[in-house]
Amino acid sequence: MDFSDGYDYQEMDITNAEQVAKVIEKVRPDAIIHTAAMTNVDQCEGEKDLCWAINVKALEYLVEACEKHDIFLCHLSTDFVFDGESGPYSEEDKPSPLSFYGWSKYASEEIVKRAKCTWNIIRTVLVYGISNDMSRSNIIIWVKKSLEAQKPIKVVTDQFRTPTLAEDLALGCWLAVDKKAKGVFHISGKDLLTPYEMAIKTAIFFQLDKSLISQVDSSNFTQPAKRPPRTGFVLDKAVSVLGYCPVSFEEGIEVLAGQMK
């Protein structure tokens, strides 16, 4: 399969205002789905200027171009805008980030909300899937490779997420743009799980030794950035307005397994 079929690739540094203006002036798209971000939470904590340049300033350049050419903007955000004290969250819940990454994404949301173009914000949670060159990992791939190598792993039980299959997120973005749906939408998987539960389900699916998986809490790991303990999303708005219908986590593992073959 040629993954370039049907695409016109344009190179652009989103932190360069001149390049952003030039490329969008040339392409004049009907809509922009803005997925680019610095998402390594600990790296954002240590490299705040770079994080702000990519996650906030770059978005200002995109918004300016969208306003100029009347382009619909779909901006991706994250569950990390919440503090994790009372998840799962609906779109009406008030953000309260714990990390610099979370604050940068919250700031970007506020820029979009003030934009004079039409827009929506898609928040998502713990995306998993397969990239064409297998350059990125995720919890399913990590667990599978570790257990296949007979490597014991420690997985936390005190964090809760609604993990999102990449294809479901892509479909949610497409539905939101196709319907020109305005406002904030929560797009994620439908199962609220701990990483430990995700690891066990992965081991069971691939028929691997789940006794190699140990339960720990997050205090066992030293990380520069705080993580919200319990996020996850209420999907009622996305289901009713967009017709969004995500797969279960087990179905997501099956999709991913097929792609890995």
Asked whether residue 44 is assigned to any structural domain, the reply reads: yes
pTM of the model: 0.94
Asked whether residue 3 is assigned to any structural domain, the reply reads: no
Q: Which pLDDT score is estimated for 257?
A: 93
Asked whether residue 127 is assigned to any structural domain, the reply reads: yes
Segments forming the whole domain that contains residue 97: 17-260
**Number of domains comprising the chain:** 1
Q: Which pLDDT score is estimated for 220?
A: 82
Which residue's structure tokens are 């997420």? 161
Asked whether residue 173 is assigned to any structural domain, the reply reads: yes
Q: Is the separation of the CB atoms in 121 and 185 below 8 Å? A: yes
Q: Which pLDDT score is estimated for 236?
A: 98
Asked whether residue 10 is assigned to any structural domain, the reply reads: no
The number of beta carbons lying within 10 Å of the beta carbon of residue 219 is: 8
Asked whether residue 6 is assigned to any structural domain, the reply reads: no
| Cis? peptide before 88, omega within 30° of 0 | yes
Domain CATH number, residue 186? 3.40.50.720
Alpha carbon distance 12, 18 (integer Å)? 10
Listed as ranges, residues in the chain with pLDDT below 70 are 1-4, 132-136
Sheet containing 183-186, strands listed edge to edge, beginning at the edge strand earlier in sequence: 31-34, 72-78, 119-124, 183-186
Asked whether residue 166 is assigned to any structural domain, the reply reads: yes
With a CB cutoff of 8 Å and minimum separation 6, the contacts of 225 are 41, 42, 44, 45, 98, 99, 100, 101
Q: Which pLDDT score is estimated for 1?
A: 47
Largest distance between two CA atoms of the chain: 58
Asked whether residue 33 is assigned to any structural domain, the reply reads: yes
Q: Which pLDDT score is estimated for 135?
A: 56
